[in-house]
Each structure stands twice: as C-alpha cells, then as structure tokens.
Amino acid sequence: MDFEILRCIDLFENLDESELEAISAIMSVQTYPAGHTIFREGEIPEKLYIIQHGSVRITKHIDGAGEELLVVLEKNDYFGEMALIDQAPRSAQAQVIEDLSTLEIDKQQLINLMEWNEKLANKLLWKFSCILSKRLRELHDKLEGLFTITRLY
C-alpha cells in the first residue's frame, strides 16, 4: 500500500520511513457511498479513518436542539482517532457527504503494533498528547468566548 498520504497527516508527521511502512501495513482501504453513516454517536469505536477522496460530516446530537454540525472533513483529514485512545463510546456521528474512500486503521492492530515497536508507540502517544492538548486549548478559548457573550446579555 502506498503510504505517502500518511506524510500529510499530522498524527504521523514525526514517524520515519520504516514506521510509516509499519502503519501502512495495518491499514485497509474502504469506500462508502454518499449518505452512508460510517458510525453513530454511542457506538463502540474500533477504527481511525483517513480520507483519501470525498467528504464526511461529523455531527453531534444536542438535546433540545437536534443535530449540530461539528465539522466537514475532506481529503487528508482524519476522524475517529479518539477510538485509538480510550474505550468510551463514539461522541459524534460520521456521515458521508460525497462518495468516500478511506484508509482505516483498526484499533487492536495498532495496539499490537505499538506493543511490538516501543519507539513507534512513544512517538504516536506523544503526538496524540500534543493534538489533544491543542484541541483542549481551542475548546477553552471557545468556552471563554461563549461565557463573555452570555455575560453581555
């Protein structure tokens, strides 16, 4: 499998050639038609998805408000990465907008690879930490802005 797409994914940017090859070896290619739901909120997560072609919308159900669009993802974006970290149910839904081709990494296969290759595991876990820290800071900024707006009213 061609692993060049992995070089474009921030999650894998600090991996060397042999580590990229190892990740590539556990990936599978899948296709989904427009309108297909890849996973639903509350399901048990098993995979990380990397978009080769097409687009997907990530939504969350908000009680009293309905479905809220979180983000639209396209080529070289990825989603479902939290599945690789914990056992919590999916926190959102992923639905295909435009016919989709993905590279998928199964959680258990990645865990097995990381147990076998400690250096790769350390690099991936460090990168996960950096990404999650960045997202937490962004969420903090959004909440701060929301609190500021609500205090004005």
The pLDDT value given to residue 8: 85
Other beta carbons within 10 Å of 151: 7
User: Over the chain, what is the mean pLDDT?
Assistant: 89
**Angle in degrees, CA 125, 131, 132, rounded to 5:** 90
Number of residues that this document lists for the chain: 153
Which residues are registered as beta bridge partners of 103?
29, 50
Q: In which band, very low, low, confident or very high, does the pLDDT at 153 lie, cut at 50, 70 and 90? A: low
Q: In 10 A of CB 90, how many CB atoms?
A: 19
Whether residue 13 has pLDDT greater than 60: yes
Give the Cα-Cα-Cα angle 70, 36, 49 (nearest 5 degrees): 60
- Region 4-152: CATH code: 2.60.120.10
pLDDT > 80? residue 151: no
Q: Indicate the pairing of strand 37-39 with strand 66-73.
A: unpaired
Structure confidence by residue, pLDDT tens digits, 38-85: 999 999 889 999 999 999 999 998 888 888 888 999 999 999 988 778
Compute the distance between CA of residue 73 and CA of residue 79 in angstroms, rounded to an integer: 8
Q: φ and ψ at 12, to 5 degrees?
A: -110, 10
pLDDT number for residue 67 = 87
> Contact at 8 Å (CB) between 102 and 30?
yes
Band (112; pLDDT cuts 50, 70, 90): very high
Residues 108-128, mean pLDDT to the nearest whole number: 93
Tokens of 28: 């599978």
Report residue 116 as tokens: 């076998």
pLDDT value at position 36? Answer: 98
Look at residue 29 in the predicted model and tell me its pLDDT. 95
- The domain spans of the chain are 4-152
